[in-house]
Structure formats: structure tokens, C-alpha cells
Amino acid sequence: MLKLFNYDLQNFASPSASKALLSKITVKKLAESETILSPGQYQQNLYFIKEGVVRCYYQSLEMQWTNWFAAEGSPIFSTESFLSGNPSPEYIETCTPVILYQITREDYQTLMEEFPELYEPAFHLLHNYLHISEKRLYGSHMQAAYKRYEEFIETHRHIANRVKMQHIASYLGITPTHLSRIRKEFARKDFNNLVNN
């Protein structure tokens, strides 16, 4: 069954809503390191990941700052562009080969008007997005880098070994060298915990 917003479609949509939604969805396949959205572009499609990992990042001169990662079952969108209709300020690119479900912004809005039940997962998505953004903002100001890495592993364990280390470092706001030291310390603690338990 098709997963959208990490829900099985049949669990939140009536048969008629499911049929209408499926009729508007197409499949898109991309290779690793392909750009889905660039700054200045308008996001015309909402994407859901069937397979693979995607990241969003900002670029300034030679520096990149990863804003988020997404994997199977997750939606992909620029809040500024898809929700507000403004040009995107960020890049969205694939970290692995991906298979995406896509639906146009116009079709999705029309379907939500026709089937109000589709608002529930959209609301759930925005709630989760705000919660994660707030938690990450707190962590970047109040937590040491090691603690930020611990939380990254806890929340992104399913993708931690599928993305490049420099992208994880840019997400945590540290250098790749610092990340390497943290990962060694983390592995030592993991090993000691296994031995002692």
C-alpha cells in the first residue's frame, strides 16, 4: 500500500479519496546527487519518498548547511516555496538513488478541498515539522556537539549509514574532523555498554 506522511493511505483516506489521490500521483526516479529543487525555483510538485534518502541544504560561498534529511515514507517540500508560493531559498537533492511519488501542488490543493479528510495528515506533517525544527534549534544553541550527534543517531538511525559524513557534519554544525572524533567516542561507549550489560 502507498505510504504518504508515513501513513498507509488506506488508514487515513476513504476509498473514493484514495482513488482520486492515486489517479493524480506519478512516479519519478532519480540517481544519487541529483537536484530536485534549487534556490530561486518554485516548487510545483509535492514529493513522497518510496525508496532512498534526500536532504535539504543551504549554500553560502563554499559552505553548505544541511537543514534536514528525509527517507522512505516522508514528504519532501520547501516550506517557503511549496506552502507560501515563494521562490525556494534552499537546495533539495538526493543522497542515494531515489524513487519518488509526486503530485502537483494544484492537484493536491484541489483534492484537499474535495476530500477534507486529507487535511489530517497534512496537519500532522506540519505539527511534526515544527516540533523537529524547534527541537533542532534548541539543540544547536544549548547542546554540546556530542549530544547533538547522539540525538541525530536516535532520530535518524535508519539513514545514518546511507549519507555522506560531510552532510551529517553540516547538519550538526561541526567539521568532518570533529565528527570523526565524536563517532569514535560514540563507538567506544557503545562497545563498553555492550560489554557491561
Domain residue ranges in the chain: 3-142, 144-197
| pLDDT higher than threshold 80 for residue 197 | no
| pLDDT higher than threshold 70 for residue 167 | yes
Identify which of 21-25, 92-96, 185-189 has the greatest average pLDDT: 92-96
**CA distances for 23 relative to 18, 27, 46, 94, 138, angstroms:** 8, 12, 15, 25, 41
| pLDDT higher than threshold 60 for residue 142 | no
pLDDT at 63 (0 to 100): 87
| pLDDT higher than threshold 90 for residue 180 | yes
Domain formed by 3-142, architecture:
Sandwich (2.60)
Task: Considering only residues 122 and 169, tell me which one the structure prediction assigns the higher pLDDT.
Answer: 169
**CA distances for 91 relative to 12, 71, 96, 122, 129, angstroms:** 31, 16, 15, 22, 18
Considering the entire predicted model, what is its pTM?
0.83
pLDDT at 74 (0 to 100): 85
Task: Considering only residues 191 and 49, tell me which one the structure prediction assigns the higher pLDDT.
Answer: 49
Find residue 99's DSSP bridge partners.
29, 51
Q: How confident is the model at residue 98 (pLDDT cuts 50, 70, 90)?
A: very high
| pLDDT higher than threshold 60 for residue 120 | yes
pLDDT at 83 (0 to 100): 80
Tell me the mean pLDDT in the region 180-191: 82
pLDDT at 169 (0 to 100): 94
Mean pLDDT, the chain, as a whole number? 84
Q: Is 49 helix (H, G, I), strand (E, B) or coil?
A: strand
